Amino acid sequence: MPTWLRVLIPAVLILIWFGAFGAGGAAFGSLSDVSTNDQAQFLPATAEATEVAALAEGFRDDEAVPAIVVIAGDDGGDLDPAQLEAADELRAALTAVDGVQADEASPVIVSDDGEAAEMILPIDASEGAERPADVVSEMRTVLDEHAIDGTTSAVTGPAGFTADLSAAFAGIDGLLLAVALAAVFLILIVVYRSPLLPFIVLFTSMSALCASVFTVVALARAEVLLLSGQTQGILFILVIGAATDYALLYISRYRETLERFERRWDATWAALRGSWEPIVASGGTVIVALLILLASELTSNKTLGPVAAIGIVFALLSALTLLPALLLWAGRAAFWPRRIAHRGEAADPEHGAHSAGVLHEASLRQAQDGAAPDERDLPDRGLWAGVGRLVSRRPRTVWIVSVLALAVMSLGLVQLDADGVPSSEFVLGESQARDGQALLGEHFPAGSGTPALIVGPEDELQQMADTALAVDGVDSVAVVAADSPAGTAPVTADGVQAFGPPGTPAPEPTVVDGEVLLQATLADPSDSMQAEATVAELRTALDEVGTEVLVGGQTAVALDTNEAAIADRNLVIPLVLLAILAILMLLLRSIVAPLILIGSVVVSFAAALGVSALVFEYVFGFPGADPSVPLFGFVFLVALGVDYNIFLMTRVREESLQFGTRPGIIRGLRLTGGVITSAGLVLAATFAALGVLPILFLVQISFIVAFGVLLDTFLVRTLLVPALAYDLGWVIWWPSRAARRAD
């Protein structure tokens, strides 16, 4: 290749990635504008709660999210007249906040025990309006400025929980990235002891992330993708971790080839030839696993798949284009102060030489003298030499003990509670909405302000109301009535009632396309598991009235979300296993080895989930887990865990073709031990960084994946897989005959 092309190609690649870095950096500020944390938007269109939400829009003129302000006396006594007067003044100040729909706001409602008051203030959630979270923040400021002596007050309800969740995600751009990058930088400094190489790796990872963010923001603006805060956090961590892992694998090969080739271009070409296949295969398994999420019912799962897959694509591209270009520019200086000496010219990499493991004359002479092939040209001392000897001397003992250890860890699965958690528990630490919900439940029906919605035929109104009132957990029922001053009218066994003195005529229910909308106030908090059970029972009871009667609302959204998440988990996990198994079979040209690898990561995942369940229950005291937690943990752990096995087994296959299977296993283990361990530490550190955000879902994913990656790195890939493969010998390559011929 002409010299000018050898200069032009890397220069153009670096300039392109510099452009992507700049464009993506500018797009970071737009992420919050295109993200949503509204759980209802992630439900499938066929969900009953989604249908009710669409029908309910016909009964109101605008979109609104209710905020509930609760005021309770500190001493447990009744609110006195002065406090109630101050509450009226507070209401006037709150309804003056931009975004609060003053004409739809309820009056100050005093509880039956007289010890508390509430007001329900709808917040405009239509497109173009101020974000409900910002409106709630202003309301809370007003609440502090108009504090009522002797009382405790809070803003809660769906709008309050949305505001708390938005505040928890506020650090996702700065804090999360800073912690993740700092952790990776420290590990790279320890691994390479070079001042330049860590910056090259981090620039590669950040360029991939910036390109991913630019693409995702553009697709979200075009409404091709739906982006949420948790998807955004996972994208950041996954891209940084994966890009760094792929970079470590390439750097390991590049350092080897610099010893064999004097010219940097030859070393770069040889390193690419030796590393592109395992890197692409590793990234491919993650991309395929993520894209299988498109088969999910939940939109949140569907959108995570392509968003994260876009990130992995850019991680692959940066590791195979930008990183080689930067290292070609830096050459041996990238490893300074470590000196990478040229030890002899190898065959021209453009004419088919292997990138590693070439037999030298000395090695051939030692082989003729009967020397052990796995010791010929590798150091006799060091950690990985010792691990190799342990595996080769007692392979069966090593893999049996490893499997037993993983099985014991898996026993913790009996403690796993992944059936869903209340939305009030989504945010860890302080939450005014959660405190306000608890205060509300002490003095009012806990479901006040967030009723279950029942849509059904006009002529079945009374039967629907009677059926709902007969369900345990339903406190009261009202029907939407535009003629009523409150917008609704109570429905009792005697029919529709009016607000006001006896004899006041009952308002006419609002009818849209022959249907009416009932609101069933629940006795339990709308986000609780008890409320979900009530809604499930309500649906069963109303099915007897007619199949056209539908139940929705906030609680129904949570119920349908959990059911869809469980269905996704049962569908996606087998599909991911089958897809990765097929990829491994194509990569390794074998059936037995891929089955071993898949089995090892499944056992490893079970062990990681079992230990995590115990930690969540007895160390952190978490209230449970979302059904999507095991699913996401599985997708990331299995796909990323297979990465390390791919790094190992592709090198083992390469060595086995020259030295035989068992020597090739030991050589592959020793040659990849350092780089895979470093990669595992990096990935574990980046996922652990998710724990800095006070979001229950992300903290749990953070622990499961970080612990599982370490388990894969130090136990499964280091001991279990090599020992089991060594015990089986050439059989692992069946039905391929290539490695058997080498034996």
Question: Residue 626: what are its φ and ψ, rounded to 5°?
Answer: -70, 145
Q: How many CA atoms lie within 13 A of 62 on its CB side?
A: 16
> What is the average pLDDT score of the chain?
83
Give the integer Cα–Cα distance in Å for 607 and 622.
19
Radius of gyration of the chain (CA): 31
Give the mean model confidence (pLDDT) for residues 424-453: 85
Among the residue ranges 33-42, 196-205, 362-371, the one predicted with the least confidence is 362-371
Contacts of 8 (CB under 8 A, 6+ apart): none
Cβ atoms of 555 and 532 within 8 Å: the answer is: yes
C-alpha 519/C-alpha 497 separation (Å) is 14
> Higher pLDDT residue, 359 or 174?
174
> Could you give the residue ranges of the DSSP H alpha helices within 292-351?
299-317, 323-330
Distance in angstroms (rounded) separating the CA atoms of residues 389 and 669? 11
**Count of other CB atoms within 10 angstroms of residue 350:** 12
- What digits encode the pLDDT tens for the residues 610-659? 999 999 999 988 888 888 888 888 888 887 777 788 888 888 888 888 88
Q: Is the dihedral of CA 634, 639, 642, 643 positive or negative?
A: negative
Q: What is the mean pLDDT of residues 353-368?
A: 36
Structure tokens at 189: 């400094």
| 348 pLDDT tier (thresholds 50, 70, 90) | very low
Q: At what angle do helices 264-291 and 628-659 cross, to 10 degrees?
A: 140
Distance CA 33, CA 435 (A): 28
Helix 229-260 vs helix 628-659: crossing angle, to nearest 10: 10
Largest Cα–Cα distance in the chain?
A: 111
Q: Which has the closest alpha carbon to 739: 671, 649, 674, 634?
A: 649
CA distance 160 to 162: 5
Check residues 366 and 313 and name the one with the higher pLDDT. Answer: 313
What is the share, in percent, of the chain residues with pLDDT greater than 90? Answer: 23
By C-alpha distance, which of 691, 624, 568 is closest to 233? 691
The residues, ordered by sequence, that sit 6+ positions from 105 with a Cβ below 8 Å of its Cβ are 91, 94, 95, 119, 120, 121, 122
Q: Are 430 and 631 in contact (CB under 8 A)?
A: no
Burial class (CB in 10 A: 0-12, 13-18, 19+), 44: middle
Q: Which helix (H) or strand (E) holds 119?
A: strand 116-124
Torsion sign across C-alpha atoms 712, 714, 718, 719 = negative
CA distance 408 to 414: 12
Left, alpha or beta for 150 (phi > 0: left; psi -120 to 50: alpha)?
A: left
Identify the CA nearest to 293 among candidates 685, 615, 575. Answer: 575
Q: How far is CA 308 from CA 242, 345, 688, 692, in A?
A: 11, 42, 18, 20
User: What is the CA angle 378-337-353, rounded to 5?
Assistant: 40
Residue-level pLDDT at 528:
84
Please enumerate in sequence order all residues whose Cβ is within 8 A of that of 408, keeping only pairs 6 or more positions apart, or say none: none
Give ∠ CA 202-175-143 in degrees, rounded to 5.
Answer: 165
Model confidence pLDDT, tens digit, residues 207-265: 999 999 999 888 888 878 777 777 888 888 889 888 988 998 899 888 888 888 888 88
Dihedral angle over CA of 317, 295, 599, 736, nearest 10: -60
Percent of the chain with pLDDT over 70: 90
Question: 17 φ, ψ to 5°?
Answer: -70, -30
Q: What are phi and psi of 69, to 5 degrees?
A: -100, 125
Phi, psi of 128 (to 5 degrees): 95, -15
The closest of 700, 129, 132, 722 to 399, measured between CA atoms, is 722
Q: What is the mean pLDDT of residues 374-397?
A: 78
> Once rounded to an integer, what is the mean pLDDT over residues 672-688?
86
SS3 713: helix
Residue count (the chain): 743
The SS3 call for residue 13 is helix
Give the whole-angstrom CA distance, residue 660 versus residue 739.
6
311 has pLDDT over 90: yes
Give 102-160 pLDDT, tens digit per residue.
888 888 888 888 899 999 888 887 766 677 888 999 999 999 998 888 899 999 988 88
Cα(293)–Cα(300) distance, integer angstroms: 9
> Distance between CA atoms of 479 and 581, rounded to whole angstroms?
55
Which residues of 275-428 form beta strands (DSSP E)?
A: none
Tokens of 30: 């737009």
**Which residue type does 631 have?**
L
Q: How confident is the model at residue 539 (pLDDT cuts 50, 70, 90)?
A: very high
Domains and CATH numbers, the chain: 3-34+172-335 (1.20.1640.10), 59-168 (3.30.70.360), 381-421+561-742 (1.20.1640.10), 451-552 (3.30.70)
Confidence of residue 466 (pLDDT cuts 50, 70, 90): very high
C-alpha–C-alpha distance, residues 707 and 688, integer Å: 9
- Residue 535, SS3 per DSSP: helix
Residue 450 in 3-state DSSP? coil
pLDDT of residue 203: 92
> What are the tens digits of pLDDT across the range 570-622?
899 899 889 888 888 888 888 998 999 889 988 999 999 999 999 999 998 88
Task: Provide the pLDDT confidence category of residue 163 given band limits of 50, 70 and 90.
Answer: confident
Look up residue 682 and give its amino acid. Answer: V
In contact, 603 and 407? CB cutoff 8 Å? yes
Who contacts 702 (Cβ-Cβ below 8 Å, separation ≥6)? 687, 688, 689, 690, 691
The encoded tokens of residue 184 equal: 């990776």
Query: pLDDT value at position 738?
Result: 56
Q: How far is CA 157 from CA 182, 441, 532, 542, in A?
A: 38, 12, 16, 26
Single-letter code of the amino acid located at 199: F
**Residue that is written with structure tokens 């452009």 in the block:** 19
Distance CA(42)–CA(701), nearest Å, equals 19
Residue of 172 and 562 predicted with greater confidence = 562
Burial state string for 637-673 with b = 16 or more CB within 10 A and e = fewer than 16: bbbbbbbbbbbbbbbbbbbbbbbbbbbbbbbbbbbbb
